[in-house]
Amino acid sequence: MTRNDAIVAAYRVLQRLYPRAFREEYGDDIVQLFREQLRDESSWRVCGRGLVDFAVSLPTRHVEIRMARNRTPALVMLVSLVLAATTFAFVEGLVGVAVAALGAALAIIIWRKERPARAERGAAGRWWKLLTSGIALLAIVLGATTAMGELSEPEWVVFAVALLVSVTLIGTGTVLGVIHLTDRHRANRIAA
């Protein structure tokens, strides 16, 4: 066993202190990268930098995992939305509207604070799934109603809800698609 092999083995042992999920996903890559650093640079320098990096990144990874597990904001957001909807539906007058608005505002604030950084841009990439599922649902609804002929009252409710969902999917997919294609066009133009 060479000295570098021994250093890599010791570094691999240290990796066990990272959270399990992170270690399982990236542990081998981290060790491989460390090994490549040792191949190209002075081992003392690599070890020093590696230890500093380990000391900094270890607590960060654990905090991230704990924050990802924290479901309190999602629960508070859900309660706020339910409060807003219930108040709006059952409490008449200005008080009902005011409490509903407060609940909705609280839910929006929590959503804005808790969403991942810039995740909405990634969401635009899924536009075609929404669009195609909306079109497919619309085709099924129209096909089924044509085949069934006269609809009873409960069937009309199902038809209306399915129609609303399909139109919402198509609308959302179209908007996200426009955002996505505009972003791509802009990126290509700047890169060119």
> Residues interacting with other proteins, by CB under 8 A?
18, 22, 25-26, 29-34, 36-37, 49-50, 52-54, 56-58, 60-61, 64, 112, 116-119, 121-125, 180, 183-184, 186-187, 190-191
In three-state secondary structure terms, 146 is helix
CB of 23 to other proteins, least distance (A): 10
CA quadruple 36, 38, 40, 41: dihedral sign: positive
> Smaller CB distance to other proteins: residue 24 or 155?
24
CB of 161 to other proteins, least distance (A): 30
Can you tell me the distance from the alpha carbon of 58 to that of 51, in angstroms, rounded to the nearest whole number? 10
Encode 166-187: b = buried (16+ Cβ within 10 Å), e = exposed. beebbebbeebbebbeeeeeee
Q: CA 112 → CA 108, 115, 123, 179, distances in Å?
A: 6, 6, 15, 20
> Smaller CB distance to other proteins: residue 54 or 159?
54
Render 55-68 in DSSP notation, one character per residue: HHHHHHHHHHHHHH
Can you tell me the distance from the alpha carbon of 123 to that of 176, in angstroms, rounded to the nearest whole number? 8
What is the 8-class DSSP label of residue 118? T
CB of 178 to other proteins, least distance (A): 13
- Strand ranges (DSSP E) for 121-187? none
In three-state secondary structure terms, 42 is coil
CB of 157 to other proteins, least distance (A): 37
> Smaller CB distance to other proteins: residue 101 or 187?
187
CB of 183 to other proteins, least distance (A): 4
CB of 61 to other proteins, least distance (A): 6
> Smaller CB distance to other proteins: residue 17 or 164?
17
